[in-house]
């Protein structure tokens, strides 16, 4: 019975799938009318969002392109262009009249003047050292100071200059030549001799020698300047290491002065004397005073030629 029931059970109908229809566009499944209507009813939100984002991106792109074009144009305006070998600027940021001039650099002086130098020493360099001197008293003063360099530095001497002038009668050779031993021992500053006894006695002897030279050459200035034909020597050194402490000319003058009775006038002392008195212009060529001293010499020579 059970076997018969199984045999008599209804057979399920076979579901036949629709076959793809060969259309003109190829083997595609042709949608039914119901599917087409359903697609039309669906809201195209995603599509609108996509289109909006596309519009936004396109507007952003266009604005960025416009800004880049403006930037490129502004850069193009500032960039100088060359025409016929000359450089021209279009719409420059600042006019030529608005450009501030460059501030001058620090004044260049000789190597022995530093930022830490004493102000009186700097003034001495800028106004006196290397300036031609032809006054007898002034020359004798500078000779005494050159001798004093063995015991003091230039700044120390300059600070004591007024005391020196007072003690030595303003460096009058005639007055100094009459100094006695007692007067020499009274030449003190703050209870101490202004110079060593040897230097003091040498100054008195040199004053007497200056008087003899004046009788022979008319003046101490003529005697000193005749060694350089009455015109300063211009060495034209560029670097401090090139400047010597003595020279053949100084050695020759030193010997001549010793033969005439001068004392403490070695080649080093004499070369310092030649430098400070302007008989030798040893300002470095990079120093602003080199050309100024040369100009003063030219002016002085022109005045002498007119007279």
Q: How many other C-beta atoms lie within 10 A of the C-beta of residue 32?
A: 10
Q: Record the tokens describing residue 104, joined without a space.
A: 């001058």
Q: Token match 């300002």: residue?
A: 283
Q: Can you tell me which residue has the tokens 């021209």?
A: 88
Q: How far is CA 288 from the centre of its chain?
A: 14
Q: Is 173 exposed, middle or buried (0-12, 13-18, 19+ CB in 10 A)?
A: buried
Contact assessment for residue 263 and residue 202, using Cβ atoms and an 8 Å cutoff: yes
Secondary structure element (H or E) that encloses residue 26, with its range: strand 26-27
Strand pairing partners for 22?
Answer: 27
293 is in an annotated binding site: no
Q: What are phi and psi of 168, to 5 degrees?
A: -105, 25
Q: Is 230 known to sit in a ligand binding site?
A: no
* Measured distance CA(40)–CA(47) in Å, rounded: 13
Q: With CA atoms as reference, report the closest residue to 163 among 171, 172, 174.
A: 171
Is 125 marked as binding a ligand?
A: yes
Beta-bridge partner residues of 108: none
- Are 273 and 142 spatial neighbours (Cβ–Cβ below 8 Å)? yes
Annotation: binding site: 110, 125, 283, 287
Annotation: binding site for Zn(2+): 110, 125, 283, 287
């Amino acid at each position: 019975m059970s076997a018969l029931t199984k045999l008599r059970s209804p057979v399920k109908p076979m579901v036949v799938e629709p076959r793809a229809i060969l259309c003109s566009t190829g083997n595609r499944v042709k949608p039914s009318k119901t599917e087409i209507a359903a697609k039309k009813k669906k809201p195209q939100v995603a599509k609108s969002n996509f289109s909006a984002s596309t519009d936004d991106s396109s507007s952003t792109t266009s604005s960025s392109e416009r800004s880049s074009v403006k930037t490129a144009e502004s850069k193009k305006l500032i960039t100088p262009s060359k025409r016929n070998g000359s450089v021209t600027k279009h719409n420059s940021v600042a006019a030529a009249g608005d450009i501030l001039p460059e501030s001058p650099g620090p004044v260049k002086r000789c190597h022995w003047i530093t930022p830490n130098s004493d102000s009186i020493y700097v003034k001495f360099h800028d106004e006196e050292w290397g300036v031609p001197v032809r006054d007898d008293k002034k020359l004798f003063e500078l000779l005494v100071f050159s001798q004093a360099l063995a015991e003091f530095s230039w700044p120390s001497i300059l600070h004591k200059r007024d005391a020196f002038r007072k003690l030595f009668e303003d460096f009058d050779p005639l007055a100094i030549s009459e100094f006695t031993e007692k007067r020499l021992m009274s030449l003190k500053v703050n209870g101490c001799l202004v110079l060593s006894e040897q230097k003091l006695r040498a100054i008195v002897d040199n004053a007497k020698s200056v008087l003899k030279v004046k009788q022979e050459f008319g003046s101490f200035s003529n005697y000193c300047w005749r060694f350089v034909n009455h015109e300063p020597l211009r060495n034209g050194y560029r670097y401090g290491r090139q400047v010597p402490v003595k020279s053949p000319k100084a050695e020759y003058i030193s010997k001549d002065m010793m033969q005439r009775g001068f004392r403490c006038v070695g080649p080093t002392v004499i070369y310092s004397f030649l430098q400070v008195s302007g008989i030798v212009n040893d300002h470095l060529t990079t120093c602003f005073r080199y050309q100024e001293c040369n100009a003063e010499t030219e002016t002085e020579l022109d005045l002498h030629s007119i007279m």
